[in-house]
Amino acid sequence: MFSDYTLRTITLGTAILGAVTGMLGSFAVLRKQSLLGDAISHAALPGIAIAFLLTGAKDSNTLLFGALISGLIGTFWIRGIITKTHLKSDTALGLILSLFFGFGMLLLTFIQKQPNANQAGLDKYLFGQAATLVESDVWMMAIVTGICLCVLLLFWKEFKILLFDKDYAKTLGFNTKTIDILITSFIVLAIVLGLQTVGVVLMSAMLLAPAAAARQWTNSLAKMVFLAALFGAFSGVFGTAISASKNNIPTGPVIVIIAAVFVFVSFVFSPSRGLLFKQIRFIKNRRDLQLHKTLAFMYGIAETHANISHPHEIKILNNFQGFTKSSLNKLVEKNYVTLEGSTWSLTQEGFDSAANLYNQNTKQNE
Amino acid sequence: MSSAQIEIQIIASLVAIACAIPGTFLVLRKMAMISDAISHSILPGIVIGFFITHDLSSPLLILLATVTGVITVVLVEYIQKTGLVKEDTAIGLVFPVLFSLGVIMIARNADDVHLDVDAVLLGELAFAPFDRLVVSGVDLGPKSMWIIGVILLVTLVLLYVFFKELKLSTFDKGLAASLGFSPVIIHYGLMTVSSVTTVGAFDAVGAILVVALMIAPAAAAYLLTKDLKKMLILSVLFGVFSAIVGYWFAHWIDASIAGSITTVLGLLFLAVYLFAPSKGVIAVLYREKQQRTEVSLLTFLLHLKNHDEVSERHVNHLNEHINWQKVRSKTVLDLALKNNMIAIDNQIVSLTPKGEEFTSLAIDYIITNEDAQIEDMKADFFLFRG
């Protein structure tokens, strides 16, 4: 259904798009501006419609320029609402998102009713159509990505310090406002770039998902940006491949689903933050605690006897909560306890370790 | 006006009222973006419901979509609770995925499903009067009017019954919990009402307009009042006003009614945002300028009090020593003169008794770290503000 060449163009386009949105998305996520992407992508819609109304052009560069302008207006209005009134950021985002989008829809329906207009192509910006990517679009993306990369490398230090300690950056004499505007503008640029491919509605996921996935694997900003770009690019490639191999599957949603799979896998399997390993660590800690409780209980009994290794019935452990068969076996493994028939006795090693445990506990309690 | 036109306006107004009520609480609880998330993520529920019933206004479809909306909220909260990402990221991750699932389901079954994603997101109010509710041969009016009417009625009853609980848990969660009102139940109750309203309204006006109708009137009202009841009434009025004006605007330029209502809402909010008496941008900017001048005035008066030498009290000194621009020093001098704080004799400035008193009080407050008191004091001393 696709000729090889078209497919290659589209795949390259979505891969580049995924990389650049992942890269800049990292900053959005870390700056707690995750939903800004959603608001901006919706706010870009009237820009597309106005650009079309003014120029009558249908080439994507003109329309995307309009989108960029209205996206920026939306962004700065959001900032104005947050800083100048007592409305909170969520209200500001929701307002701009819905109001701009509604206005955009009004313009789109208005354009559709125009008798002479050749308006058929505008709908694609709503949900995106990767299939409409042509070579010049991909070049455009590549150039913008290149610029983004250069700016990112050039201002890396400034971006990083703004991200993690804004006040410190200010005291060092950096112009935080300019840096802030610079990075926000690039986020807007990345979003606008993706409108044609994945559309207004799903663009925010392209921005967030790779970054949220990358965040789980590392605590270093450089690694996170790199990983996010990688995840984004892979989502683009896999998404395009899947939607090309089957009939009737739109590309944008598939890319979003693939990116979500990356997020899911990262959430569950990341070694340091992932849910799976967190649960394993939790269970291990609980076992250790039980072990210590049992040992402390045994110590309490052994203390009252002249011979610390005097055997006791296992049964007496039963009405004590921390006791399980496996925890007893573990104590045996550690050479703290010896079992003989239905009795247990503390070894010297176990007694010492328990005494130590007890000391530590009392010390901490004091 | 034809009867269809009247019906459209009634439906739009009903939707506006039904949205404004939960919207007010969402805005106050800083959860406005949840409504956006719900409006997108109900899509898979709608699609599955449509597969089963082939009717966009069947109760089963509404139920399924509402459940999807509540699932969204639960999922978002679960992801937040893991602490892996921030709250807003959790919202931004969940709804595009659910929305994508919905779009893919529609695309895969395009042949047997006559359901358009555009229709879900944007709705078409103009067609609403054609889908009539006919019971045993009697035409009772448009179906969507009944749906949204019932939802509105339920919302109003819930609002009336639980007003106290809602108010308390919105403004003081801790107190509400300690008095025995479960914040969880109220939270999910509100979320369910929001979901039901979104679902009930999308058929007529589309999901995006629902978001606009929930947030914009409430936000505009919030800029005008601090009283919850007044805020509710104002947002309902704003909603209905936009719905009716928006309808006629759409009628005039022949474009989407939902888009037009949103545009009117946008203009309305813009007007309030700019011109609201004390919270609007112009008022805020004016107040900031006033405060800057008044702070300068205070600095100037303190300077006068600290210096008895003539050289330090010369008018020109303001420009040189305190390093103010000419315009600004003139503004400050004029203000001080108008308020009888200073007397200028042969270009030498000196404090009047009133100025002395004001400055001493101000110093006391500054030393005891009660700077805020100075604001109240200004009202007693100033005849003219900065």
Was domain A276-365 assigned CATH 1.10.10? yes
Closest of B170, B168, B171 to residue B179, by C-alpha:
B168
The predicted pLDDT at position A193 comes to 86
Which residues from B are below 8 Å from A244, CB to CB?
none
CA A233/CA A235 separation, integer angstroms? 5
Backbone angles phi, psi at A118, to 5 degrees: -100, 75
Q: Which three-class secondary structure state does DSSP give residue A77?
A: helix
Contacts of A235 (CB under 8 A, 6+ apart): A18, A206, A209, A210, A255, A256, A258, A259, A262
**Would the CB atoms of B93 and A37 count as touching at under 8 Å?**
no
Mutate to test the interface with B, among A30, A100, A105 (most CBs of B within 10 A): A105
Give A86→chain B minimum CA distance, Å: 8
CA distance B341 to chain A (A): 32
pLDDT at A262 (0 to 100): 93
Sorted by where each starts, the structural domains of chain B and their CATH numbers stand as 3-277 (1.10.3470.10), 282-381 (1.10.10.10)
Worst-scoring range by mean pLDDT, A22-31, B158-167, B364-373? B364-373
Q: Where are the domains of chain A?
A: 4-270, 276-365
Chain A residues near residue B285 by CB distance under 8 angstroms: 84
Q: What is the DSSP letter of A71?
A: H
Instruction: Report which of B259, B263, B264 is spatially closest to residue B121, judged by C-alpha positions.
Output: B259
Do the Cβ atoms of A105 and B258 come within 8 Å?
yes
Task: Give the pTM.
Answer: 0.84
Predicted pLDDT of residue A366: 41
The verdict on a CB contact (< 8 Å) between B208 and A98 is yes
Q: Does the domain spanning A4-270 belong to CATH 3.40.605.10?
A: no
- Tally C-beta pairs within 8 A across A and B: 197
ipTM of the complex: 0.85
Over residues B145-151, mean pLDDT = 89
Q: Which residues of chain A make contact with B89, given a CB cutoff of 8 A? A: 29, 34, 208, 212
Segment B80-118, tens digit of pLDDT: 888 888 878 888 889 899 989 988 888 887 666 666 766
Residues of A in contact with B107 (CB under 8 A): 248-250, 253
- Are A239 and A10 within 8 A, CB to CB? no
Q: Tell me which residue in B104, B254, B284 faces A249 most closely, judged by beta carbons.
A: B104
The pLDDT of residue B258 is: 86
Element (H, E) at B123: none
Considering only alpha carbons, which residue of chain A is nearest residue B80? Answer: A267
Q: Which residues of B touch A41 (CB under 8 A)?
A: none
Q: What share of chain B is helix, strand, coil (3-state, %, to 5)?
A: 75, 5, 20
A98 contacts B209? CB cut-off 8 A: yes
Closest by CA position to B120, among listed B64, B65, B63, B70? B65
CA distance A36 to chain B (A): 9
pLDDT at B199 over 60: yes
Confidence class of residue B323 from pLDDT cuts 50, 70 and 90?
low
CB B160 within 8 Å of CB B232: no
> Which residues of chain B neighbour A275 with C-beta distances below 8 Å?
82, 84
Q: Cβ B266–A100 below 8 Å, yes or no?
A: yes
pLDDT at site B128:
75
CA–CA dist A208, A235 (Å, integer): 12
| Contact call for A106 and B256, based on CB within 8 A | yes
What is the pLDDT at residue A335?
A: 78
pLDDT of A321: 54
- Cβ separation B97–A85 shorter than 8 A: no
pLDDT at position A1 is 44
Q: Which of A106, A212, A254 sits opposite B263 (nearest CB)?
A: A106
Q: What contacts A85, CB < 8 A, 6 or more positions away?
A: B223, B273, B279, B280, B281, B284
**Are the CB atoms for B27 and B238 separated by under 8 Å?**
no
* Percent of chain B predicted with pLDDT > 70: 93
Chain B residue with minimum CA distance to A96? B266
CA distances from B316 to B298, B308, B310 (A): 18, 16, 12
Tens digit of each residue's pLDDT, chain A (366 residues):
455 777 888 889 899 999 999 999 999 888 888 888 889 988 998 998 899 888 877 777 888 889 999 999 999 899 899 988 888 888 999 999 999 998 988 888 888 877 665 555 677 777 777 777 888 888 888 998 999 899 999 989 888 988 888 888 889 888 888 888 888 888 888 888 888 888 887 888 888 999 999 999 999 999 999 999 999 999 999 998 888 887 778 888 899 999 999 999 999 988 888 888 888 989 888 888 877 877 777 787 777 777 777 777 777 776 655 566 777 777 777 778 777 777 778 787 777 777 777 666 554 444
Write down the pLDDT at residue A47. 92
Model pLDDT, residue B35 = 87
pLDDT per residue as tens digits for the range A161-186:
888 888 888 898 888 888 888 888 88
Q: Which residues, 6+ apart, have CB-to-CB distance to B294 below 8 Å?
A: B335, B378, B385, B386
